[in-house]
Amino acid sequence: MFRKTRLFTPGPTPLAPAAQFAMAAADLHHRTPEFRALYSRVLQQLQSFIGTKNDVVAIAASGTGAMEAAVSNLTSPGDKVLVLTAGKFGERWTSLAKAFGCAVTVVSAPYGETFSLDEVRKNLSPEVRVVFMQATETSTGIRHDISAVAKLLRGSDTLLVVDAITGLGTTHLDVDGDGIDIIIGGSQKALMVPPGMAYLAASQRAWDRMESSKQPRYYFDLRKERKSAAKGESSYTPAVALVAAIGAALDYIASQSNGDVAEGRRKLVANAELCAAMTRAAVQAMGLQLFAPSSPSAAVTAVKAPAGASATDVVKKFKAQFGGILSDGQGEMKGQIFRIAHIGYLDFMDCIAIIAGLEQVLAELTPGAFKLGDGLRAAQQVYRDAAAKKEA
Amino acid sequence: MFRKTRLFTPGPTPLAPAAQFAMAAADLHHRTPEFRALYSRVLQQLQSFIGTKNDVVAIAASGTGAMEAAVSNLTSPGDKVLVLTAGKFGERWTSLAKAFGCAVTVVSAPYGETFSLDEVRKNLSPEVRVVFMQATETSTGIRHDISAVAKLLRGSDTLLVVDAITGLGTTHLDVDGDGIDIIIGGSQKALMVPPGMAYLAASQRAWDRMESSKQPRYYFDLRKERKSAAKGESSYTPAVALVAAIGAALDYIASQSNGDVAEGRRKLVANAELCAAMTRAAVQAMGLQLFAPSSPSAAVTAVKAPAGASATDVVKKFKAQFGGILSDGQGEMKGQIFRIAHIGYLDFMDCIAIIAGLEQVLAELTPGAFKLGDGLRAAQQVYRDAAAKKEA
C-alpha cells in the first residue's frame, strides 16, 4: 500500500496547511514595513499563545538556543543555580549551566518520574539565583508540577526558568500567575511549523537581572532583541518564512475559537489531552505499560517495549510499513521505550491510525501476544465518552 | 478535537504533495519550449498510465467534457448508438448522445447491479455505430465487465467508448487487448490532482471515424488536439498548473516502482483493491449491507444506510465530527446509500480512520445497534492477511 509520511514525533510535528502556504509565499524582505507589521503581529499573537503579559522575543534558533539565552542572560559565572531534571532535556539545563560556569545543584528523579518537591525545597536558599526546569520532559513523557515549584520560590529573588518547548499548547500553564520568569517555546511543536525558530517571554525581574549578568553574549543578547522587537524588527536576519508560518498557524489556532488565540490554545491543549487519553487507554488495553504513569504529560506518551520486541524494532517497522514516524527512547532508554506525540496538528483520525498501525506491528513482532482491535476499541470508547460529556 | 479536511470522495481525491508543490510552482507560459517539453512528457506518461499505444490527448475540461468529445467526434446526427447504463454516469451517456441527435438504445441494469450481457448481445447489430459504457459506475460502486462487452464487438465496425474516469488507476484494464476505441480519464481521480483536466486515448479506428463524423465541434475537436499534441502543444490555453501537477503525480506513482509508470499504476490498483477489501470487510462486520455486492469496484464502496439512519445524516455527521468527506447517494439514491472512495492517494491509515469515524457516527446515530471496534478488527485482519500473503 501507499505510505504517507506522517510525523507522530514530539517535534517536528505535522505542519498546518495554512503554515505551509504562508512559508511558500514568504517572499519578503525583513527590513521593510511589510515585515515589521507581520513580525509585530506575530510577537503579539505569541504573547496570547503563551498566556502572558510579559514581553516576548523570538530568535532564529532551535529551542536549545533559547535555553542557552536564558542561561547566558540570567546568570554570571560562579552563580549558584538549581536544575530540576528527570530526563534528557533536564540534563541539557545542567550541561548549559556548566558550560557557562555556574555552580550547579541538580535535583533529579529517575526517568519516568517527576522529582520530589521536598528535595527541591531542601536545595533552595537565597543564594540560588535561578531554577531551571521543564514543563514536560519530552524524553520520558512526564509532566512536572510548575505551580508547586513556583510556590516554593514565592517571595524569594530566585528566578524560575521553564523550558515549555513541548509544554506550550499541550499543557495548561499559568505563566504570570505562577511568576515564571522565562518561558521558552519552539516553532516545531504545538505551533505546527518546521524547526528553526524559538521564542520566549521574560518577566520584568528577568529583564532587570539581565542588566547585572556578566556572561559573554551577542547573538543571544535578549535585551537587544527586546529593543528590536519593540520596533517590529529582529536584531539579526530573522527566519522570515517561519515567522510568516507561525503567524498563519496562530491564525489557524485562533480560528478554532472565533479568532481568539488564547482560547484557541486552550482548545489545542484539550485536543492533546484527548489524543493522550485515547492513546493511553489503547496501549493499556493492549497490555502494554506506560513509562510515566504517575504524572503523564499530554505532549507525549512513552510506552515500554513489550516482552520479546525492542522499541527500536517497533519504531522501524511502523515507519517501514505505514510511513508514520514514532520516536524511540533517547540515550540509555533507546530500545526500552517508544514515544507517541500528541502535539499540535493531530486529530481523531490520526490518533486512531497510530493505534491501528501499532497493533499491526506488535501483532507481527510478537506473534500470539496481541489481539488486533483491543486498543482501537478502548480508544474509541474514550472518544465516545468525551464527546458525550461535551454534549451533556 | 481538530478536524482535518480529508477527501474520501470518488473525486476530487486527496492531493499528492508532489502535485501540490508542482501546481504552486507552475509559473510558466504555455507557448514556450519549457512547456512543450513538459506537455509532451506528460502525454507520454499518460499513455503508460492508461496502458495503451494509442495517441493520447488532454483537454482543459472536466471528465464530462471528454465524454462529450467522444460523442461529438465519433457520431453523426441520427447514428444508432448503444448505451450500457447502471447508474447516474451511464445515464449521462444517454443524455449526451441524445443532445447530439443520436438514435439511442439503452441497455440498463437496476442501480447496484451490472447489465446483462445477453441483453447487450440482443441489442447489437451492424447499424450500431458506437457502444458507450463505464468501467466502474461511481454512483453505485459496481464494476462492469469491459472485456466481455469488447468480445461481443470483436470483428464488427462498432466502436467501444469507455468512461474510465474512476476506473483508471483503480481497475486493471487491458485497453489495447480489449480494443477500447476511446478511453477517458480525469485529473481529479487516481491522478491525485484537482479537477479541471480530462484526457483520453483513441484507437486508429476512432481517429478514422472522426473524419466522417458530421457533428459540429470546435473546442472538443480531437483531430485538431491530436495535431497540437504531436507538437507538444494544446490547441487552446491548457490548464498549465494541472499539467505540471499531473506530471509530478505520475512521477510519484512511478517512484513506487522504480520509475515505471505502468508498474506504478498496477500498484495503485492493488492499493485501491486492498482499501476496498478492508472497507468491505469492515462494513459487513458492522452488520451493514453493500449496495453492489455482486461485482464491486475497487474505486468506491457503496453502503446501504442502516435501519434508523439516513445516509445523508451519516455523511453530515462524519464531516461535522471528523472533517472527513464521504459521499451521499446521487439522485433517487440520496439518503439510501453512502459511498467511500478508494481512489488514488490513500493508505492503510486513511482506510482505518474512515472505518473508525464511521463506527463512532453510527454508534451515535443508532444507539445500541453498533458495537465499536468490530469493523476495525475486520479491516485489520484483511490487512494482516494481505501483508502475510505478500511476504509468503
The per-residue pLDDT string of chain A (392 residues; one tens digit each, 9 = 90 and over) reads 999 999 999 999 999 999 999 999 999 999 999 999 999 999 999 999 999 999 999 999 999 999 999 999 999 999 999 999 999 999 999 999 999 999 999 999 999 999 999 999 999 999 999 999 999 999 999 999 999 999 999 999 999 999 999 999 999 999 999 999 999 999 999 999 999 999 999 999 999 999 999 999 999 999 999 999 999 999 999 999 999 999 999 999 999 999 999 999 999 999 999 999 999 999 999 999 999 999 999 999 999 999 999 999 999 999 999 999 999 999 999 999 999 999 999 999 999 999 999 999 999 999 988 899 999 999 999 999 999 998 87
CA distances from B80 to B75, B126, B130 (A): 9, 10, 7
CA distance A182 to chain B (A): 29
Q: Please indicate, yes or no, if residue A1 is contained in any of the structural domains.
A: no
Co-location of B199 and B66 in the same domain: yes
Co-location of A275 and A196 in the same domain: no
pLDDT at B196 over 90: yes
CB-hemisphere CA count at 13 Å for B374?
Answer: 12
pLDDT at B265 over 90: yes
**Residue range B71-88: mean pLDDT, rounded:** 98
Residue B14's closest chain A neighbor by CA? A4
Co-location of A31 and A121 in the same domain: yes
A162: phi then psi, degrees, rounded to nearest 5 = -120, 120
| Sheet of strand B300-304, all strands in order from the earlier edge strand to the far edge | B300-304, B337-341, B327-328
- Structural domain ending residue among the three candidates B201, B236, B255: B255
Co-location of B33 and B150 in the same domain: yes
CA distance A110 to A112: 6
Look up the domain containing B160 and give its range. 17-255
Q: Please indicate, yes or no, if residue B1 is contained in any of the structural domains.
A: no
Co-location of A223 and A348 in the same domain: no
Q: Could you tell me the CATH number of the domain that includes residue B185?
A: 3.40.640.10
Co-location of A144 and A272 in the same domain: no
Q: What is the pLDDT of residue A270?
A: 97
CB distance A377–B373 less than 8 Å? yes
Q: Please indicate, yes or no, if residue A80 is contained in any of the structural domains.
A: yes
**pTM higher than 0.90:** yes
Co-location of A231 and A265 in the same domain: no
Co-location of B249 and B285 in the same domain: no
Q: Could you tell me the CATH number of the domain that includes residue B369?
A: 3.90.1150.10
Length of chain B: 392
Q: Please indicate, yes or no, if residue A304 is contained in any of the structural domains.
A: yes
**Residue range B41-50: mean pLDDT, rounded:** 98
Q: What is the pLDDT of residue B141?
A: 96
Residue B139 is which amino acid?
A: S
CA distance A207 to A226: 9
Co-location of A250 and A337 in the same domain: no
CA distance A370 to chain B (A): 12
**Domain count across chain A:** 2
Instruction: Answer positive or negative: Cα dihedral of A69, A75, A77, A80.
Output: negative
Q: Which residues of B touch A363 (CB under 8 A)?
A: 384
**Residue range B22-27: mean pLDDT, rounded:** 92
- Structural domain ending residue among the three candidates B217, B235, B255: B255
CA distance B43 to B58: 8
Co-location of A48 and A163 in the same domain: yes
Co-location of A46 and A176 in the same domain: yes
Instruction: Answer positive or negative: Cα dihedral of B69, B70, B76, B79.
Output: negative
Q: What is the pLDDT of residues B156-184, one digit of tens each?
A: 999 999 999 999 999 999 999 999 999 99
- Structural domain ending residue among the three candidates A203, A238, A255: A255
CB distance A1–B381 less than 8 Å? no
Q: What is the pLDDT of residue B392?
A: 79
Counting residues of chain B whose pLDDT is more than 90, the rounded percentage is: 98
Q: What is the pLDDT of residue B391?
A: 80
Q: Which residues of A touch B373 (CB under 8 A)?
A: 373, 376-377, 380
Closest CA to B377 of B272, B298, B276, B283: B283
CB-hemisphere CA count at 13 Å for A189?
Answer: 27
Residue A3's closest chain B neighbor by CA? B347
